[in-house]
């Protein structure tokens, strides 16, 4: 019996499973796997041979091979490779063996590679080079800048790939054209940007395509923290649905649209959109419950059945500017190019700050029409309202050369008619014309982009035609080096400011020493001392003095960044870049320490007759015993607040700096290489310039671009979804 096969014998069943099964060709599964593996390896080697052929045109600064083959030899290698692959296909087909499909997504593979590139760049920074010996001090900033500059390019490419095939601009523009949209100029701009590698213009082009894809007209409300944006929109909606308060409220732009049923739609990075009750809005829209947008909200939409919210019109509540919540300010600046009409709220009690002027200037530069509202005019008398309104109008005309409508408004019942009148006169008429106005807005943005692309192309042609002297080229190269060094300053500034912020935790002894000294001095002169008030002053003095060192370091960084940008502007023969004030404006409203309740009773020691030294030492011990732990908690909290503030200030400064520097870097690179542009390419650029010169007329032509030639290899290692 032991030699008989039993149906339920697990060992026998396992043996059946592991035994190679016959294939239809007569080979077993192991034969087939080994055959496919061998052919895949042979095909992989052929692909590497073809990479050798293309390496001469890759532009790599580190060529692996000496190109010693002729064009005829290259063509023969490709022809034989194609013949080999076709033969493989026929052989496998004859054996009835199916060729396995792609194993990996190409985009995933490329993003993994970018991750390793990012690690390699981090290891090329001075902090890692120091392991091989001291790095020269004068090269630290440039080497840090080199690492960060390249990491920035890698991050931009990774962000683009992460968008997936649905974000391909060419296909999206083509689809919009088929849907009836006027896309002639956009189609040409996308082609010109792609053919000339003008990657710095792709974000602006993508924003325009987004706006064209949307059938809505967006009216955005901008202003400083506590200027009354959310309160104004609540009145427009007719319900107190948006959170309001004196602290930074809006963490991300909130779109308010018409909906039959009130609901909140929250879209986050890498997640599905959630539909929630509207009373959950504060969980995502406030800095208190979503600090620095830690919940990674990318879109917040509030639908509400208000008669003032009709289809096609969207109101947007933007994060307030000029607050500690500078991540919200970044969201506002990033949103700016999307809106079609900007309404800027200025607090009537403190009209027209430098930030307000810069904001209105940025709105104007983005080709967006602006309206100005003086909020909270209930705090002023009728004559003061007229004076402030006239003052703001005159200042905008003087400082910006703009005639901007300025209207006083308030949500207080006695003055709400001013807000209703403005809405009726300025906003309500837009409802019947929103499609026309939306199209005009898109045309303005497109024209602005077209002019920028035209300037970039023209610079290349002019350099190619006239050339540049050695001194001019040296100045351009030097400016590029200055930009790189300026970028590297962020690393040093971040470390210094973070270290100083950490030191704030250890200020308890300094504060107690300061308070003990002042109390001793008062007692020695017969003065009346109020210990709680004195201690609070001591804490504020020590915290402010130390915080000033951090502010100085950040302002020095802003100055260096502005110098680098201005020097680059001069080297490129452009008008000076007005950015210094914008960089310095990021360093403001430093955190204030909250010492809490410091109720402490302490009196002059009875042995004060021994002298000031003994009195001071005794007072110091008494204070340390009574409130030492409270002060520790206050300074630790202050340190954390400062770290967050420094991080956000640096992020805002980097955003402002990179928005200019990235365009300059690309332009410098093209100008240096302009003399090497082939004559045929130069003629193509001239044709594109003539085309863009006629941008006032909508360009026609619907010829689709040719489809890319597919890979001939029967063994795709990736699935290309770009």
Tell me the per-residue pLDDT of 480-523, one tens digit each, with 9 for 90 and over: 888 888 888 888 888 899 999 999 888 888 888 888 887 777 77
In the predicted structure, residue 111 carries a pLDDT above the cut 70: yes
Structure tokens at 344: 């800027």
Q: What is the pLDDT of residue 553?
A: 92
- Is residue 219 within 8 A of residue 343, CB to CB? The reply is yes
| Token digits of residue 704 | 């689709």
Q: How is residue 319 annotated by DSSP?
A: P
Per-residue pLDDT, averaged over 430-457, amounts to 83
Q: Model confidence at 332, in pLDDT bands (50, 70, 90)?
A: low
The full set of domain ranges for the chain reads 11-95, 214-439, 473-676
pLDDT band at 578 (very low <50, low <70, confident <90, very high): low
Position 708 scores a pLDDT of 34
Average pLDDT over residues 40-49: 87
Q: Are 642 and 504 in contact (CB under 8 A)?
A: yes
Residue of 351 and 700 predicted with greater confidence: 351
How would you class 623 by CB atoms within 10 Å of its CB: exposed for 0-12, middle for 13-18, buried for 19 or more? buried
Mean pLDDT, residues 152-161: 77
Exposure of 170 by Cβ count < 10 A (0-12 exposed, 13-18 middle, 19+ buried)? Answer: middle
Element (H, E) at 316: strand 313-317
Q: How far apart are the first and last CA of the chain?
A: 64
Query: Within 10 Å of residue 329's Cβ, how many Cβ atoms?
Result: 26
Of 9-18, 383-392, 705-714, the poorest mean pLDDT is in: 705-714
Could you write out the DSSP letters of every residue in 186-253? HHHHHHHHHHTT-GGGHHHHHHHHHHHH---EEEEEEEBTTSSHHHHHHHHHTS--S---SS--BSS-
**pLDDT, mean of residues 367-385:** 85
Which of these ranges, 7-21, 54-68, 638-652, has the smallest mean pLDDT? 7-21
31-53: average pLDDT: 85
pLDDT at 199: 76
pLDDT value, residue 605: 59
Which pLDDT score, from 0 to 100, does residue 428 have?
85
Return phi, psi of residue 466, to 5°: -100, -20
- pLDDT value, residue 165: 53
For the chain, the average pLDDT equals 77
Q: Strands 341-347 and 313-317: what pairing?
A: unpaired
Q: Are 627 and 595 in contact (CB under 8 A)?
A: no
Q: What is the pLDDT of residue 712?
A: 42
Q: How far apart are CA 122 and CA 117, in angstroms?
A: 9
**Residue showing tokens 């309206």:** 371
User: Would you place residue 598 in the very low, low, confident or very high pLDDT band (cuts 50, 70, 90)?
Assistant: low
To which H or E segment does residue 276 belong?
strand 274-276
Measure the CA–CA gap between 547 and 643, rounded to whole angstroms: 11
Rounded Cα–Cα distance for residues 716 and 694 (Å) = 45
pLDDT single digits (tens) 267-316: 876 567 889 898 888 888 877 777 767 777 777 889 998 888 876 788 98
- Return the SS3 of 652: helix
Per-residue pLDDT averaged across 225-232, rounded?
80
204 vs 247, residue with greater confidence: 204
Phi, psi of 302 (to 5 degrees): -110, 120
Mean pLDDT of 692-713: 43
- The pLDDT tens digits of the residues spanning 75-94 come to 888 888 888 888 888 888 88
Among 123, 141, 151, 140, smallest CA distance to 487 is for 141
Angle separating helix axes 470-503 and 612-672, nearest 10 degrees = 150
Higher pLDDT among residues 488 and 16, named by residue: 488
Q: How far apart are CA 491 and CA 713, in angstroms?
A: 46
Lowest mean pLDDT among 164-173, 176-185, 369-378: 164-173
pLDDT of residue 319: 75
**pLDDT of 550:** 92
Examine the pLDDT at 721 and tell me if it is beyond 50: no
Q: Considering only CA atoms, which of 441, 498, 484 is closest in space to residue 218?
A: 441
Question: In percent, how much of the chain has pLDDT > 90?
Answer: 3
Q: Model confidence at 19, in pLDDT bands (50, 70, 90)?
A: low
- The pLDDT of 3-14, averaged and rounded, is 42
Once rounded to an integer, what is the mean pLDDT over residues 384-396? Answer: 88
Q: Could you tell me which of 326, 123, 106, 363 has the C-alpha nearest to residue 224?
A: 326
- Answer yes or no: is pLDDT of 546 > 80: yes
Q: Say yes or no to pLDDT of 557 above 90.
A: yes
Q: Which residue has the higher pLDDT, 2 or 298?
A: 298
**408 pairs with which residues across the strands?**
374
β-sheet with 341-347: strand ranges across: 274-276, 263-268, 297-304, 254-258, 313-317, 217-223, 341-347, 370-375, 406-408
Task: Assess contact for 244 and 222: CB atoms under 8 A.
Answer: no
Strands 263-268 and 297-304: antiparallel
Q: Does the structure show a pLDDT above 70 at 21?
A: no
pLDDT at position 469:
66
Contact residues for 458 (Cβ-Cβ < 8 A; gap 6+):
689
CA distances from 447 to 335, 377, 481, 691 (A): 19, 38, 32, 13
Fold of 214-439: Rossmann fold (3.40.50)
* pLDDT (mean) for 106-114: 83
Task: Give the pLDDT band (50/70/90) at residue 603.
Answer: low
Distance, C-alpha 63 to centroid of its chain? 34
Instruction: Judge whether residue 706 has pLDDT over 60.
Output: no
CA separation, residue 203 to residues 160, 193, 355, 449, 656 (Å)? 10, 11, 25, 10, 15
| Confidence class for position 555, pLDDT limits 50, 70, 90 | very high
Residues 122-142 have a mean pLDDT of 85
Query: What pLDDT, on a 0 to 100 scale, did the predictor assign at position 529?
Result: 58
> Using CA atoms, how far apart are residues 485 and 138, in angstroms rounded to an integer?
10
Quote the radius of gyration of the chain (alpha carbons, Å).
33
Map residue 421 onto helix, strand or coil: helix
- Can you tell me which residue has the tokens 């208000």? 306
pLDDT at 631: 86
Tell me what pLDDT residue 554 has: 93
Q: What is the C-alpha to C-alpha distance for residues 345 and 260, in angstroms, rounded to an integer?
A: 29
Report residue 11's pLDDT band, with 50, 70 and 90 as the boundaries.
very low
Q: How far apart are CA 30 and CA 568, in angstroms?
A: 65
DSSP character at residue 562: H
d(CA 309, CA 260) in angstroms, rounded, equals 11
């Amino acid at each position: 019996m032991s030699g008989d096969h039993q149906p339920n014998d697990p060992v026998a069943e396992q043996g059946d499973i592991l035994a190679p099964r016959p294939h239809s060709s007569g080979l077993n599964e192991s034969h087939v796997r080994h055959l496919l593996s061998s052919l895949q390896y042979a095909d992989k080697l052929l692909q590497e041979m073809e990479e050798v052929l293309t390496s001469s045109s890759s532009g790599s600064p580190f060529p692996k091979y000496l190109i010693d083959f002729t064009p005829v030899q290259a063509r023969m290698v490709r022809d034989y490779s194609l013949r080999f692959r076709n033969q493989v296909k026929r052989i496998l087909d004859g054996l009835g063996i199916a060729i396995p499909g792609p194993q990996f997504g190409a985009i995933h593979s490329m993003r993994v590679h970018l991750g390793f590139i990012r690690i390699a760049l981090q290891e090329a920074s001075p902090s890692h080079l120091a392991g091989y010996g001291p790095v020269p001090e004068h090269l630290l900033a440039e080497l840090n800048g080199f690492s960060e500059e390249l990491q920035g390019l890698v991050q931009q490419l990774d962000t683009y790939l992460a968008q997936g095939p649905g974000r391909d601009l060419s296909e999206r523009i083509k689809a919009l054209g088929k849907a009836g949209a006027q896309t002639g100029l956009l189609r040409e701009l996308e082609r010109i940007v792609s053919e000339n590698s003008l990657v710095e213009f792709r974000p602006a082009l993508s924003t325009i395509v987004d706006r064209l894809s949307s059938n809505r007209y967006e009216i955005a409300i901008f202003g400083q923290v506590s200027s009354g944006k959310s309160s104004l929109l609540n009145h427009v909606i007719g319900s107190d649905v948006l959170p309001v308060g004196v602290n930074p409220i809006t963490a991300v732009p909130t779109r308010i649209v018409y909906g039959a049923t009130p609901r909140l739609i929250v879209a986050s990075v890498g997640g599905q959109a959630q539909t929630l009750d509207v009373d959950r809005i504060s969980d995502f829209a406030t800095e208190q419950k979503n600090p620095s947008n830690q919940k990674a909200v990318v879109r917040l939409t509030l639908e509400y059945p208000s008669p003032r919210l009709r289809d096609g019109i969207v109101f947007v509540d933007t994060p307030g500017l000029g607050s500690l919540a500078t991540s919200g300010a970044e969201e506002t600046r990033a949103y700016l190019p999307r809106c079609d009409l900007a309404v800027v709220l200025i607090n009537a009690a403190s009209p027209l700050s430098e930030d307000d002027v810069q904001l209105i200037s940025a709105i104007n530069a983005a080709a967006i029409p602006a309206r100005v509202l003086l909020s909270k005019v209930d705090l002023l008398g009728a004559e003061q309202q007229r004076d402030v309104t006239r003052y703001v109008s005159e200042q905008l005309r003087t400082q910006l050369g703009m005639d901007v409508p300025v209207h006083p408004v308030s949500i207080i019942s006695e003055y709400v008619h001013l807000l209703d009148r403005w809405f009726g006169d300025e906003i309500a008429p837009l409802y019947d014309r929103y499609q026309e106005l939306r199209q005009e807005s898109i045309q303005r943005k497109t024209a602005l982009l077209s002019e920028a692309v035209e300037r970039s192309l023209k610079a290349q042609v002019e350099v190619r035609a006239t050339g540049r002297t050695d001194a001019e080229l040296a100045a351009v190269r030097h400016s590029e080096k200055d930009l790189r060094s300026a970028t590297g300053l962020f690393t040093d500034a971040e470390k210094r400011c973070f270290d100083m912020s950490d030191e704030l935790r250890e200020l308890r002894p300094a504060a107690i020493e300061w308070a003990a000294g002042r109390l001793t001095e008062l007692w020695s002169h017969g003065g009346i001392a109020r210990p709680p008030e004195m201690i609070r002053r001591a804490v504020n003095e020590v915290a402010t003095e130390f915080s000033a060192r951090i502010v100085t370091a950040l302002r020095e960084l802003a100055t260096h960044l502005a110098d680098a940008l201005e020097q680059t502007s001069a080297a490129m023969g452009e008008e000076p870049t007005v950015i210094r004030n914008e960089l310095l404006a990021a360093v403001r409203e430093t955190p204030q320490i909250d010492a809490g309740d410091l109720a402490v009773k302490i009196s002059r020691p009875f042995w004060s007759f021994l002298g000031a030294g003994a009195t001071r030492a005794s007072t110091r011990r008494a204070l340390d015993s009574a409130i030492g732990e409270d002060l520790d908690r206050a300074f630790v909290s202050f340190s954390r607040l400062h770290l967050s503030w420094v991080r956000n200030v640096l992020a805002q400064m980097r955003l402002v700096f990179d928005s200019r520097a990235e365009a300059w870097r690309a332009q410098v690179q093209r100008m240096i290489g302009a003399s090497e542009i082939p004559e045929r390419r130069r003629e193509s650029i001239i044709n594109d310039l003539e085309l863009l010169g006629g941008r006032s007329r909508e360009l026609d032509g619907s010829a689709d671009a040719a489809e890319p030639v597919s890979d001939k290899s029967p063994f795709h290692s990736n699935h290309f979804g770009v």
